Chains A and B, each alone.
Chain A
Amino acid sequence: MRTNRLLPLTASAALVLSACGGGGESVDTGGGGGGGGEGGTLVAAVSAEPDQFDPHVTTAYPSFQVLENVYDTLVVPNAEDLTMQPSLAESWETSEDGLTWTFTLREGVTFHDGSEFDSADVVYSYNRIIDEELSNAFRFQNVASVAADGPRSVVITLTQPTPNLLERIGSFKGMAILPEGAADQVDLTTEAVGTGPFQLESSDASSTVLTAYEDYWGGTPSIGGVEFRYITEPAAALTALQNGEVQWTDNIPPQQIESLQGDDTLELQTTPSVDYWYMSMNYARPPFDNRDVRRAISFAIDREAVAEAAWFGAAQPNQTAIPEDSFFHNDYAPFERDPEQARQLLQQAGVQTPLRMGLMVTDEFPETVTAAQVIASQLGEIGIEVSIETLDFATWLDRQGQGDFDAFMLGWLGNLDPAAYYQEQHQTNGPNNYQKYSNPQVDQLLQQGASETDEEARKQAYDQAAQLIVDDVSYLYLYNPDVVQAWAPGLSGYQIRADKAINFETVELP
């Protein structure tokens, strides 16, 4: 799904903001959506309402939960290891110099409006993103041109080798292929014309309804449709699942995981996600410009306790960004909790304790509020008085953008490629380098990683960059949480994914 972009805005199960209601049609209330097979509707409880349905414009996770089932991209991440596999493109070739990529498109694909899919649709969709400067335009940074070469072939020309091009165009449905001219013909904010397994039927303040697309190129889905019902309260979503009102939910409070393991009214699964949560300090605000101070703070924090507090064991503490299951994982953990050394480092830096530090968090992501309280108490032990500032996300982003903070905590979600994990956050003057970190060596390594086509060499570059980032405490990495989802017993064909893409194409009702 989304690469490297926080579910922003009203997305997320934020305690307060929350979208609205659950409910919706109750046609299938009472289990199983009509006993499975043809015509049955799966009811999925999600925590928030999609903001809109234009895949190129929205940045909200709840929208992509729906769009995942409606649109297709040229390539998609494999459910198992998230490597890119064919979708609308059957195959692709790269030129010797790595600057020209030629994609061969699948035949016999039709859009939900009946029109045939061909190369003009790809060119149109990509150029729409580039020309209108839409949210994902940055993904085409290195792209010089997108051109059709006959109806079945698309050529992308690059300005520099881009080993992660597939990830850039396929990691989530924000890079969806629309039919040519779609934006002028339909209102994409409320309607959808995709090539995916389901069509958008209707959407209101309590649910979004999809129906199976019979001419789907991958074969008609076995269920008749999906209803995404918005249930803000995790406890309510869980109750709804247990008494059969819904058959699937991702709105599970982490504290319930343990008690639900043995519950036979539902099936619960967890898998490590590709998300990471971190804290970052402002290099423009003394004494946080001092490497020793940042390292002292890093030594003072018990990541186990933070992860345990926020996720009740459903998160892996990690001192770098990339989780263990990834090819690019780097087993580097130099900071063992050590308050004594932390105090020494503070002294060495000439810092007077108590030192006051503001820690900016947002109730949009309640785990930041929980984690911040644990961090505050741990830093209190080494003489740093943390004042937690819980802001709404709009104010939070504003202050982050203006550099008006001592420290903040947040996460990056849905990352697939190491460039997405590190580049924009740590490169000097990178667009998301709010902490104002600058290390020429890191810049050079990141640059090298971005264009290196040999996987091993690429991993090495990122490993070295990551170590410097961790040592300098540009980000103070905390943990990778698990994906937690639950469904009705007997529901089959559903696969829980590390990138939190939710795909009901092959699901069969009990």
Chain B
Amino acid sequence: MVVLAGVSVIVFALVHLVPGDPIRLALGTRFDQATYDALRARSGLDQPLVEQFFGWFGRALGGDLGVSFRSGETVTSLIAERLPATLTLAFASILVALLIAVPLGTISALRPRSFVDRVATVLSQIGISVPEFWMAIVLILVFAGTLGWLPSGGYVPLTEDPGAWAQRLLLPAVVTGVVSGSVITRFVRSSVLEALGADHVRTAQAKGLPQRQVFTWHVLRNALLPLVTVTGVQLAYLLSGVVVVEIVFSWPGLGQLALQAVQARDYPVLQGAILLFAVVFLLINLVVDLLYTAIDPRIRR
């Protein structure tokens, strides 16, 4: 709560520090004083800043995030409109990431310093180092342009056409998934390695328990903790909108909404979006903590 309030204050201050006047912008290049004054009074921007803040914060607590300067729609409906696209991409990316990271990280931890391990390490380093917008452009060029197998971008709701939904989701999910997956791979590798060397695993091995049992019961369970943490972090990041990938793939997500709001100085939308991101961030932290307790018996006790 303290964090949320802090975030709100900073957001509000930052947003109003930004030079540029949303009302002026709404008029375009043509300026007309009377129209300007009328619009400004309607937007409530002529009120003192502190008053604006408490008014906004009070209403936000009740779930009313205000109305967009630009579109006249409520901020909640604007966010709700984009939430499905963002959720879809975030979860699809995490899925791709885990599909890459868990096998790759485990294999390379089981055979440290082997050829497989080295290849996996290099691959994950490459994945972390590639600028994702560059990868996105190249993939579009190859798969949508040259080969013509996939559409170049856009979003279709699952309920409307599952085939088109999957086609359009594939490329952006792969781009963000590869990046996140590379990060997670490194975590999986190191935590599996660490778990393998842990005392109780050695004890279990010494007791002559079958390898498979040792591995699933002792190693994976212990390695799961850091994996949950890093996955949570990645998810929070993906949910707050991967702006650049969204732009390149014409993906109508929250990142684009927030960027547009910055550009248009659409204060209510920007404040609403950042507040939402902060809430998501804190919620994920909470879930990660809960999962921790569930997985790790030591913490439960």
Contacts and interface: CB of A to CB of B under 8 A. Distances in A.
Interface of A: 4-10, 16-27, 29, 51-52, 54, 57, 59, 132-135, 137-138, 187, 189-190, 204-206, 229-233, 235-236, 239-240, 243, 245, 364, 392-395, 397-398, 400-401, 410, 412, 424, 431-432
Contact of A236 (B160, B250, B257): B250
A23 B253 CA distance: 12
A318 B249 CA distance: 37
A9 B71 CA distance: 11
Contacts of A395: 19-20
Contacts, number: 207
B253 to A, nearest CB: 7
Given A235-B152, A398-B24, 19 more contacts: A8-B25, A8-B26, A18-B260, A20-B250, A21-B252, A22-B250, A23-B153, A23-B168, A24-B156, A29-B151, A52-B73, A54-B72, A133-B38, A189-B73, A205-B155, A239-B140, A394-B24, A397-B29, A432-B31
Contact of A206 (B72, B154, B260): B154
B14 interface: no
B69 to A, nearest CB: 9
Given A189-B73, A394-B22, A431-B30, A132 B38 contact: yes
Contact of B25 (A9, A20, A133, A230): A9
Contacts of A401: 24, 31
Contacts of A364: 263
B251 A20 contact: yes
Nearest to B260: A10
Contact of B263 (A204, A394, A432): A394
Interface in B27-71: 27-35, 37-38, 70-71
A51 B140 contact: no
A231 B34 CA distance: 36
B161 interface: yes
Contacts of A19: 256, 260
Given A20-B250, A25-B160, A138-B30, A52 B71 contact: yes
A206, A364, A393, A410, most chain B CB atoms within 10 A: A206
B137 to A, nearest CB: 8
Contacts of B251: 20-21
B144 interface: yes
B144 A137 contact: no
Contacts of B128: none
A397 B24 contact: yes
Given A138-B32, A205-B81, A394-B25, A21 B72 contact: no
A4 B30 contact: yes
B259 interface: yes
Contacts of B282: none
Given A5-B30, A137-B32, A204-B81, A398 B154 contact: no
A26 B161 contact: yes
Contacts of B140: 233, 235-236, 239
A394 B23 CA distance: 9
A206 B26 contact: no
10 contacts: A9-B25, A20-B260, A21-B153, A21-B252, A23-B156, A57-B72, A206-B155, A233-B153, A236-B152, A239-B140
A57 B73 CA distance: 14
Contacts of B38: 132-133
Interface of B: 18-22, 24-35, 37-38, 70-73, 81-82, 85, 140, 144-145, 148, 151-156, 160-161, 164, 168, 246-253, 256-257, 259-260, 262-265
A18, A21, A412, most chain B CB atoms within 10 A: A21
A134 B72 CA distance: 14
B47 to A, nearest CB: 20
A20 B30 contact: no
Contact of A398 (B21, B26, B82, B263): B21
Nearest to A243: B148
Contact of A8 (B29, B145, B252): B29
A398 B19 contact: yes
A279 to B, nearest CB: 15
Contact of B250 (A59, A132, A230, A398): A230
A24 B71 CA distance: 19
B28 A9 contact: yes
Contacts of A245: 151
A8 B27 contact: yes
Contacts of A394: 18-22, 24-25, 263-265
Contacts of B152: 231, 233, 235-236, 239-240
B170 to A, nearest CB: 13
Contacts of A229: 154
Contact of A431 (B32, B71, B145, B156): B32
Given A134-B35, A233-B152, A233-B250, A20 B73 contact: no
Nearest to B83: A205
Nearest to A48: B260
B31 A431 contact: yes
B29 A16 contact: no
A5 B35 contact: no
Contacts of A23: 151, 153-156, 164, 168, 250, 252
A488 B263 CA distance: 34
B25, B140, B161, most chain A CB atoms within 10 A: B25
Given A138-B32, A190-B72, A431-B31, A10 B250 contact: no
A392 B19 CA distance: 10
